[in-house]
Structure 1
């Protein structure tokens, strides 16, 4: 069984940026639908390649968008990412996978697409920890750590964890 790639998750600041992202996703075979309530009664809607879009203005809409993303729908949310609601949205979507900001979608910078857990794990691996030690230090199960590292390998387009760590070290911004 081949795994479907993650559904796109975008948080943009304006309707114009949302239109740009939606046009790009339509070219890639995604069907756009306004609003965040899913019409399909089945739980997993990944195969439908459906992207939901709209403005996030309250907690209820935020919850609908996160639920739709968890069920496999793509999300293009119009929300100020610096507001409390925007930060909550980015945090919640980030638990599901990479969240892209703005109409450019993050470009070729895979580091920007990493969730905080992935960054922490890659930092620990770069420092010489084993995956098990890194998982324990980050209070993650070994299975979750392996899954997060596999997602990072896919983001960087590499086959091995060593290659992912090296790509991460090359691309991350100096602190």
Structure 2
């Protein structure tokens, strides 16, 4: 099957942490991450390779923005970290929008939708002040399973600590309610 450019996801985010979260999600969906926006493959359509190219677009770097747009036009997924208020950022979003939808930032509802019920229950209990051990016991999970579920949630939110995961969960849950 030949992929169309509008089949490949396009993301423009403001931080490397957001980019890491998006890249993990795309990797789980079968995309192969590759740093930089230049495509070495001489064939025009690279959609079958299922590549997601990622990198930073500096505030005044229109050349890198052009490479990202060309990669997206050739069928690659793109995750760009940039300031969307800069000239290069505005040009990047405008040009990528001509190819199809552009996801700006991380949609909190997407992250929460990717949580399994056990993770939501554990995060709710942690937000209420329970320890991981108490939350695990209340949810009839082993401590090891609870720790794994919380680690998976941290990865989804793109944070390093459980406290940050709980805070991100609460913020994003409020946005969706």
Query: TM-score, normalised on structure 2?
Result: 0.57
Q: What is the number of residues matched between the two proteins? A: 108
User: Does the CA-based 8 Å contact 2:33-2:51 persist in structure 1?
Assistant: yes
Contact 1:36 1:53 in 2 (8 A): yes
| Corresponding residue number in structure 2 for 1:9 | 10
1:104 is aligned to 107
For the Cα contact (< 8 Å) 2:23–2:79, is it kept in 1? Answer: yes
Point out the more displaced range, 51-60 or 82-91: 82-91
- Give the structure with the larger helix fraction: 2
> Contact 1:10–1:105 (CA<8 Å) still a contact in 2?
no
Contact 1:100 1:106 in 2 (8 A): no
Give the structure, 1 or 2, with the largest relative contact order (CA under 8 Å, sep 6 or more).
2
1:106–1:29 Cα change, 3 Å: same
Change (3 A) 1:55 1:2: closer
| Bigger mean CA offset, 78-87 vs 6-15 | 78-87
RMSD: 2.1
Moved runs in structure 1, 4+ residues, more than 6 A? none
Taking structure 1 as the reference length, the TM-score comes to: 0.57
SS at match of 1:17: helix
Q: Which runs of 5+ in 2 are unaligned?
A: 112-177
Q: Matches of 2:106 and 2:84 in 1, distance apart?
A: 13
Contact kept? 2:2, 2:48, Cα under 8 Å: no
Q: Which residue, out of 90, 93, 102, partners 2:96? A: 93
Matching of residues 71-82 of structure 1 within 5 Å: 71-82=74-85
> Does the Cα contact within 8 Å between 1:9 and 1:93 map onto a contact in 2?
yes
Give the aligned partner of residue 59 of structure 1: 62
| Separation of aligned partners in 2, 1:2 and 1:42 | 13
Q: Which residue of 2 aligns with 1:83?
A: 86
- Counterpart Cα distance in 1 of 2:19 and 2:88: 18
Distance 1:42 1:85, change over 3 A: same
